[in-house]
Chain A
Amino acid sequence: MIWRRLTVRRTGAFACRQFVEAVTDYLEGAMPARDRARFEHHLSQCDGCDRYLAQIRRTVDLTGRVTVADVDALGPVARERLLGAFREFNTQGV
C-alpha cells in the first residue's frame, strides 16, 4: 500500500527503500503475485534486505515472547469479587 507510491519511478526495479515498506504486505500475504515475484527477486539479490526481513521476523518472534514473561491475570481478590457479582446477578434476577 504505502510502498506502491514509491515504486512507480523505476519501472520494474525494486529499491531497498521500497522493499522495507513492502515487508508487511509480503508477510501478510497481501501482495499481488507480480509484486511478490519482484519482491522475492530483490530479496535474492540483496544482502541488506535479506537481513532486514530476517530482523522483522525476529522482531515478531521476540514480541510473541513478551507475553509469557508478564502475565497480567486477575488478582485473586478481584476474581472472587467478580464471581460473587456473577452469582448475585443470577440469583436475584429472573
Chain B
Amino acid sequence: MTPAGTEFADDGSLVERLRDGDEAAFAWLLDCYSGSLHRLARSYVATAAVADEAVQETWLAVVTGIDRFEGRSSLKTWVHRILVNIARTKGVREHRSIPFASLGSELGRDDPAVDPNRFRGGRGRHAGQWETPPAPWDEVPEDRLLSRETLAAVHQAIDGLPLNQRSVITLRDLQGWPAEDVCNVLEITETNQRVLLHRARSKVRGALEAYFEDTTT
C-alpha cells in the first residue's frame, strides 16, 4: 500500500494516465493522499465515519471529474480543495462548522497569544514585560516530551481550535505543507493564513505548557 516510488512525481503524466484509465495510477493517488484528506476532513466534521464518507466522495468526484482538471493548480491542491468543499457542506449539515463567513471572528483582535495577566501592566518602564515568564521545557525529560501522552495532548489541543485555525495548523504543521498550498486549498490570503497559524500555534503551545505544568509536579 505504500506509494510506489516517484514515477508519478510529475502531475502531467499522472493526470494523463488517470484519464487513460490506468488503475495503478489511481491506486497510487489513493494511497498517497487518503490519509491527509481524512485528517483535513476531520477539521470540518464531527466523526471519523463522516470524514471517511467525505474522503470517498472526494475520490468519486476525482474519478468523474479528472477530465475537467485544468492544471491551474497542482493535482494535490485540486483534490484537497474538492475535499474541503464536500467536508464543509457535511459540517454545515451537522451544524458543526459555520460557513467561512466566520473567518472574521477567528482573525479578531481579542485573542492574545499569551494571557495578558502574565505581563506587567501600567505605563512604566517595565510595562509589557514578563511577569510570569514561561518555565523552561529543557527540564522535561526527552522521552516524556516525545511521549504518546504528550502527542495526545497536542492532538487534543488542535481538536479544540476554531475551525479555520485547525485546518491551517493541520496542513502546515501536522502535514508539513508549504504556506502557498494551504492558501490555495483553503482559499485564504497569505496574511490570513499566517494569522490563523499564529493563533493556532500560540494556543497549542499554551495547552502544552499547562500539560507539562500539571504533570511535572
**Considering the complex, which residues of chain B in the window 140-192 have a beta carbon less than 8 Å from any beta carbon of chain A?**
145-146, 148, 150-151, 154-155, 158, 169, 173-176, 179, 190-191
Given contacts A65-B151, A91-B21, contact A82 B201 (CB under 8 A): no
Binds A, one of B76-84, B88-96, B110-118: B110-118
Q: Report the bound CA distance from A24 to B197 in whole Å.
A: 8
Please tell me the number of chain B residues within 8 Å of chain A, measured between CB atoms.
62
| Residue from A59, A72, A83 within 8 A of B30 (CB atoms) | A83
Q: Report the bound CA distance from A70 to B158 in whole Å.
A: 14
Least distance between B82 CB and chain A CB atoms (Å): 14
Q: Are A62 and B134 in contact (CB under 8 A)?
A: no
| Residue from B21, B42, B190, B209 within 8 A of A86 (CB atoms) | B21
Q: Which residues of B contact A2 (CB under 8 A)?
A: 109, 195, 198
Q: Are B208 and A48 in contact (CB under 8 A)?
A: no
Indicate if A37 sits at the interface (CB-CB under 8 A).
no
DSSP majority for the B interface?
Answer: helix
Indicate if B204 sits at the interface (CB-CB under 8 A).
yes
Indicate if A11 sits at the interface (CB-CB under 8 A).
no
Indicate if A12 sits at the interface (CB-CB under 8 A).
no
**Considering the complex, which residues of chain A in the window 41-58 have a beta carbon less than 8 Å from any beta carbon of chain B?**
46-49, 51-52, 54-56, 58
| Residue from A1, A28, A85 within 8 A of B179 (CB atoms) | A28
Q: Which residues of A contact B64 (CB under 8 A)?
A: 89
DSSP majority for the A interface?
Answer: helix
| Residue from A47, A70, A75 within 8 A of B133 (CB atoms) | A47
Q: Are B119 and A63 in contact (CB under 8 A)?
A: no
For B22, the closest partner residue in chain A by CB is A90
Q: Which residues of A contact B169 (CB under 8 A)?
A: 63
| Residue from B35, B38, B151, B209 within 8 A of A66 (CB atoms) | B151
**Considering the complex, which residues of chain A in the window 18-33 have a beta carbon less than 8 Å from any beta carbon of chain B?**
18, 20-21, 23-25, 28, 30
Q: Report the bound CA distance from A79 to B27 in whole Å.
A: 8
**Additional pairs, 20, CB under 8 Å, beyond known A20-B202, A59-B201, A72-B51:** A2-B109, A15-B127, A15-B128, A21-B198, A23-B113, A23-B202, A24-B198, A28-B179, A28-B197, A51-B136, A51-B137, A62-B146, A71-B35, A72-B39, A72-B48, A74-B34, A81-B56, A82-B59, A83-B23, A86-B26
* The 6 A-B residue pairs with the shortest CB-CB distance in the complex, in nearest-first order: A15-B128, A48-B133, A90-B21, A24-B198, A48-B130, A72-B38
Which residues of B are interface residues toward A (Cβ below 8 A)?
Answer: 1, 21, 23, 26-27, 30-31, 34-35, 38-39, 42, 48, 51-52, 55-56, 59-60, 63-64, 109, 112-114, 116, 119, 127-130, 133-137, 145-146, 148, 150-151, 154-155, 158, 169, 173-176, 179, 190-191, 194-195, 197-198, 201-202, 204-205, 208-209
